[in-house]
Amino acid sequence: MRLNAIVAGVGLTKFGKHLERSQKWLAGEAARMAIADAGLQVADIEAAYVGNCAAGIVTGQESIRGQVVLCELGLRSIPILNIENACGSSATAINQACAMVSAGYHDVVLVVGFEKLYHVDKAISYAAFAGAVDVEERDRFIAEHATPQPGADGKPRSLFTDFYGVLARAYMAKHGAGVEHFAMVAAKNSFHGSLNPNAQFTNAMTVEEVLAQPVVADPLTRPMVCPLADGGSAVVVVSERKARQMGIRQPVRVLASVVRSYFDHPADAAENVTSIAIAEAYHDAGVAPADLNLVELHDSSAVTELLTYEHLQLAKPEDCLRLLVDGDTRLGGRIPVNTSGGLLRKGHPVGATGLAQVAEITLQLQQRAGKRQVAGAKVGLCHNGGGNIRGEVAAMNITILSR
């Protein structure tokens, strides 16, 4: 499907621990920044799509999340639609916004993602992830993936932490990887994050420093697993006609926006939700993996970044480690990955993550990324998946943008 959608403006709050900030501030601040970045006024917004995942659990806000967080923005009585789709909530929101703009229903749409995950009671923060699996099979999921860890202190943690450990051990057995390879991913992303003022952690780490941190899920140390975060992200999407009317000088076109969901299939099936979504996105965008200049991918752990190299066909499966070791995915390399610092350093405010990826690619394509700028960037891809059903991602979002 050819999309008629242009990213006209982006807005991001700093990601991190914002116990003193409300969810209205996180969403509203990002929205105001995106509208101003587009050179528009609040009155120009014709509809809003709002992505959020965990407000109901962490803050108690259900049902009318978007209406609540945007009520002080000064919007008219426009349609505000709430999107919840695991970690891909705001990526799904921009998918719907692009579809409506392309269909001619709206010319100017605001898309917002927000999440307030930090809570004085960490058990509540981590409870937000407990519903991102099939709750009827949750006990089995825990039994299959939870294993005692060195130095375990019994403190609450994400349901997925041990799952990443299982993935890491399987990856090591299959590809001959060592824990130092996972440390290289974390160190690379820490370097990128050190150049991003909106990242939660802006200190660059060496491989040795990453390896020296406490193990959280054997063999993964703390910097190899993404942290919680509060944050807001926003994008203004306009039609091509509106973009011409606005005289946008550096239009960023949404070439493809694909949302796919888990489906029941044999574990060894050739196709799965991830492969189908990626193939569809490349087809819709009319590009191949070799055409990409940069990628923002869902590095919920260091091993998931390496696995995604393979899924996105950035290299043959047997060459993905070499892609990392040779520096191809580092700034200055052939295909920089997670120039924002990724989830590992930027943090993972679940509902805001997908749009944050779109914002990073947009800034890169418009040559506005400062010290982390990828020279000559023309095409970028966002990979954003969330939830888990039977060991596989439940919701997969792929977005491809170009200038």
For residue 49, give the nearest of 91, 107, 14, 1 by alpha carbon: 91
Q: Where in 262-351 does DSSP place strands (E)?
A: 294-296
Task: Specify the 3-state DSSP secondary structure of 342.
Answer: helix
Annotated catalytic residue, options 87, 98, 226, 382: 87
User: The dihedral of CA 295, 29, 3, 385: what is its sign?
Assistant: positive
What backbone torsions phi and psi does residue 51 show, to the nearest 5 degrees?
A: -100, 130
Known catalytic residue at 145: no
For residue 90, give the nearest of 204, 35, 157, 12 by alpha carbon: 12
Q: Is 260:276 a contact under the CB 8 Å cutoff?
A: yes
Contacts of 112 (CB under 8 A, 6+ apart): 27, 30, 31, 48, 49, 50, 51, 66, 69, 70, 90, 93, 232, 233, 234, 355
Rg (CA), the chain: 20
Tokens of 328: 């191809």
Other C-beta atoms lying within 10 Å of the C-beta of residue 305 = 28
Known catalytic residue at 87: yes
Amino acid letter at 139? D
Annotated catalytic residue, options 106, 298, 348, 383: 348
What distance in Å separates the CA atoms of residue 182 and residue 223, rounded to the nearest whole number? 10
- The residues annotated with a catalytic role in the active site are 87, 348
